[in-house]
Amino acid sequence: MARTGRRPGESDTRAAILTAGRQAFAQHGYDGASIRSIAGAAGVDPALVHHYFNTKHGLFVAAMEFPVDPGEVLPVLLAPGIDGLGERLVRFFLSVWDSAGDRTPFFALIRGAVSHDESAALLREFITREVLGRVAAAVDQPDPELRATLVGSQMVGLAMARYIVRIEPLASADAETVVAAIAPTIQRYLAEPLTS
C-alpha cells in the first residue's frame, strides 16, 4: 500500500530501493531488471517502489542520478518539429552539462560505460530506448535509427572532449561558440542527405 506523508524511516526505505535498483540494473541490465525483484531485494512491497518512483524508467533515472530526465525533456525539445532541432538539442545539453561539473554521477555513468561491459550494456539499452528511440521517431528521413546514433556519437564525443578528457580550446570555449559549431552537424544528421 502506498504511503503518503513523511514518517521516520521513509528516506531509508527510498535509499534501500535505490541501492537495490542500482544493483539490479548493473546485474541484469535495464530490460532484465524488474520492479518486483528490486522490491524483493530491498525488502519492500512493489507498490512502494511505484509510490516513490512511478515506473522502472523513473527508478533508473533516480538511481543513475541523471541531471535531467530524458523522458521529460526530450518531448519538449522535439515538440516544435525538426526545424532548429539540432540547435535546441546542443544548447540544452550544454546548459545541463556545463553546470553539472565533471564529478556528477552522470559522468560517472559514462566513465563506467567505457570501463565495464555491463555498464556499457546498461547505458546502451537505456540510451537506445529512451533517448535515441525518441529522436529517431521525430526524424522524417531515410535511416532514422542510424541518424539518431550519429547524433549520439557527436554528443558523446562532445561530452568526452569538453568534460572528461578536457581537450582545449574546446573544453573552455563559450557555449554559443560550441552551439554554432556543432548544431549544424546535428541538424544535418537529423534532416539532410547523408552523402558526401
Q: What residues line the site for its own copies (CB under 8 A)?
A: 86-87, 110-111, 113-115, 120, 123-124, 127-128, 132, 143, 145-146, 149-150, 152-158, 160-162, 164-170, 173, 177, 179-185, 187-189, 194-196
Nearest to 94 by CA among 119, 67, 112, 134: 67
In the bound state with its own copies, the residue whose beta carbon lies nearer, of 12 and 117, is: 117
| Residue nearer to its own copies on the CB measure, 73 or 146 | 146
Alpha-carbon torsion (81, 82, 87, 91), positive or negative: positive
CB atoms within 10 A of CB 8: 6
What minimum distance in Å lies between the beta carbon of 76 and its own copies?
20
Cis bond upstream, residue 142 (ω within 30): no
Minimum distance between the CB of residue 102 and its own copies, rounded to whole angstroms? 10
The three three-digit cell numbers of residue 184, written as one number: 549544424
Report, in Å, the least distance between residue 140 CB and its own copies: 17
Rounded Cα distance, 29 and 120, in Å: 10
The nearest distance, CB 151 to its own copies, in angstroms, is 10
Smaller CB separation from its own copies, 15 or 171: 171
d(CA 29, CA 23): 10
